[in-house]
A and B are shown apart, each in its own frame.
Chain A
Amino acid sequence: MSTARFDPTRSRSEPPASPVLDRRRFLGEAAAGACAAAPFLLGVVRLPAAFGQQPDGAYDASEHYYGMGVDPRRCIGCARCVAACKTENDVPAEPHFFNTWIERYVITEDDAVQVDSPNGGLDGFPPLTQANVERTFFVPKLCNHCDNPPCVQVCPVGATFMTEDGVVLVDDEYCIGCRYCIQACPYGARYLHPETHVAAKCTFCYHRLVRGQVPACVEVCPTGARIFGEVRGRATPLARFMRFNQIQVLKPHLNTAPKVLYANLDGEVR
């Protein structure tokens, strides 16, 4: 078997002298082929899926990077956004399931902060009971579509993800309903859908974005408290919002890099 490992007298084009060498060459070529094919078979490297698939005029996710501006100083707490979101996205009507909701902040003169959001603000807000109210205002909340999303990091199956255009979505056919992402979200923006038993959240109305529409909450906000656009790249209303306001995000110390940007935000808002 080990008669001649290497024979310099034999040229490469010469057919193999023995069946032993034949098997060696087969194994070698098979191994080389396997090594070459492995990245593709294992999914480490894939041919670009979108390559040649975009007809002219179709939506190209790589050209967008979405974000939302929120100006709480304009919010009147009418919760039209909450109602529109529930309609547009078939969110269960009962309380505790919200893609977006309105919080009322009441800060009294002893610096106590009380936050309430009865049914997300849909049924209105009860009269203030506190004495000595120093300031009170509404804050719209929703998924922050973090650039560094903790929910995506913890998903064990890859069912939640950030699209190329910066929207954090849930694959409701692939989600196993383990609730890790609900635990991980520092903004409380996720819930387990009571009928499908998978995680659900704000999608920025992705089905509207690909059709050139703004999210339903932005469409119905009567005071322009929500501004939709792209955080970089194109000139959108959000660019103007970012230029003319001092921008804050919720819980910046968590390094989640939210793409929901707040202006005129009270220091007590969490």
Chain B
Amino acid sequence: MPQQVPRLVFVFAVALLAMVIARWYLVPDTFGDIGHYRAAAVDSIAARPMKYAGHQQCTLCHSPIQEARLASNHKGVRCEVCHGPAAAHIAAPMEVKPSIPRGRDQCILCHAFNPSRPTGFPQIDPVVHNPLTPCKDCHDPHAPEPPVVPESCAACHGEIARQKLVSHHASLECEVCHAAPVTHKSNPRSARPSKPTDRSFCGACHAIGDPRAAIPQIDLQTHGQPYTCWQCHYPHHPEAP
């Protein structure tokens, strides 16, 4: 054997030993047990505490409410959506109580009108839809009714209704001028009400010859041709004569 071979072997052995010792100190425990990472990190992440308990836990005690909810339109809305994280409540049911939203804030998060929301999702305008009334006065959050058909047009068209209320047309019901299909109330966009399109419709009241003297009357033949009435007069708030 050449003389330098044992020396080289010795040098390499020392280098290898130094590397092993350095690795021993530098590489953390459990590094590489599963992959190129500390296996202990997975355990420490997995050991983090839960804050949301999961709806299965709620069912153990509150099954009647759960059953009602699961049969309703809120079947996908699990308890902790509205009541907040409840793991602490399950650990100590009497000491820690989840929140019970009693105002409008929590409902409005989902049900306030927003044009970016998907079509068909039940939405209201919180400003005109019974403002200051807590939602649960009319709607049971655990079993909300299907969207109730609004009784008056003002439920949705509040601005127009308020304007009409102070106008000379206050006594006219919306249906006098608009024929709303029955489905308009449940499906407002696809079934639209009619609008008067010709002069003779307004002329039914406003043409010369009507016996009701208080109504301003014009000669349909000469007044404002060739325009239709609403191009000059706003029917929900017509100007004073």
Query: B33, A49: Cβ atoms under 8 Å?
Result: yes
Which residues of A207-253 have CB atoms within 8 Å of chain B's CB atoms? Answer: 207-208, 210-211, 213-214, 216, 219-224
Question: Would you list which residues of chain B between 53 and 91 have a CB under 8 Å from chain A?
Answer: 54-55, 74, 76-78, 80-81, 84-85
Residues on the B chain within 8 Å of A59, using CB: 46
Contact of B148 with A by CB under 8 A: no
- What's the minimum C-beta distance from B29 to chain A, rounded to whole angstroms? 11
Is B162 an interface position by the 8 A CB rule? no
Q: Is the CB of B45 within 8 A of A46?
A: no
Query: Residue A4 at the B interface, CB < 8 A?
Result: no
Q: Interface residues of B toward A: which range?
A: 35 or more
Which residue of B20, B27, B49, B114 is within 8 Å of A125 (Cβ)? B114
Q: Does A171 reach chain B (CB closer than 8 Å)?
A: yes
CA distance A171 to B32 in the complex (A): 13
B27, B45, B55: the one within 8 Å of A43 (CB): B27
Task: Note all chain B residues with C-beta closer than 8 A to A27.
Answer: 6, 9
The interface bits of chain B over 13-55 (1 if a CB of A lies within 8 angstroms of the residue's CB, else 0) are 1001001100100011011111111110110111111111011
Least CB separation from A5: chain B residue: B1
**Cβ contact within 8 Å between B116 and A137:** yes
Q: How far is the CA of A151 from the CA of B194 in the complex (A)?
A: 59
Q: How far is the CA of A46 from the CA of B34 in the complex (A)?
A: 9
Residues of A within 8 A of B110 (CB): 76, 78, 80, 222
- Per-residue contact bits, chain B 150-161, to A (CB 8 Å; 1 contact, 0 not): 000000000000
Q: A43-B23, A43-B31, A207-B50 are in contact. Are A84 and B80 (CB under 8 A)?
A: yes
Known: A158-B37, A173-B41, A203-B45. A88 touches B118 (CB 8 A): no
Contact B114 A77 (CB under 8 A): yes
Residues B46 and A161 in contact, CB atoms below 8 Å apart:
no
A75 to B32, CA, bound (A): 40
Asked whether A125 and B116 contact (CB < 8 A) given A38-B16, A49-B34, A222-B77, the answer is yes
Taking a contact as CB atoms under 8 Å apart, the answer to whether A164 and B23 are in contact is no
Cβ–Cβ contact B109 & A208, under 8 A: no
Which A residue sits closest to B27, measured CB to CB? Answer: A43
Q: How far is the CB of B185 from chain A (nearest CB, A)?
A: 22
By Cβ-Cβ distance, the 6 closest A-B pairs, closest first, are A49-B33, A171-B41, A161-B37, A207-B48, A222-B77, A136-B116
B residues neighboring A (CB under 8 Å): 1, 6, 9, 13, 16, 19-20, 23, 27-28, 30-39, 41-42, 44-52, 54-55, 74, 76-78, 80-81, 84-85, 109-110, 112, 114-118, 121
Beyond the given A76-B117, A173-B44, A208-B52, could you list 6 further A-B residue pairs with CB under 8 A, ordered by the A residue number?
A30-B13, A87-B51, A137-B116, A171-B41, A207-B45, A219-B80
A-B contact pairs, 5 of them (CB 8 A): A42-B23, A74-B118, A206-B42, A206-B45, A222-B74
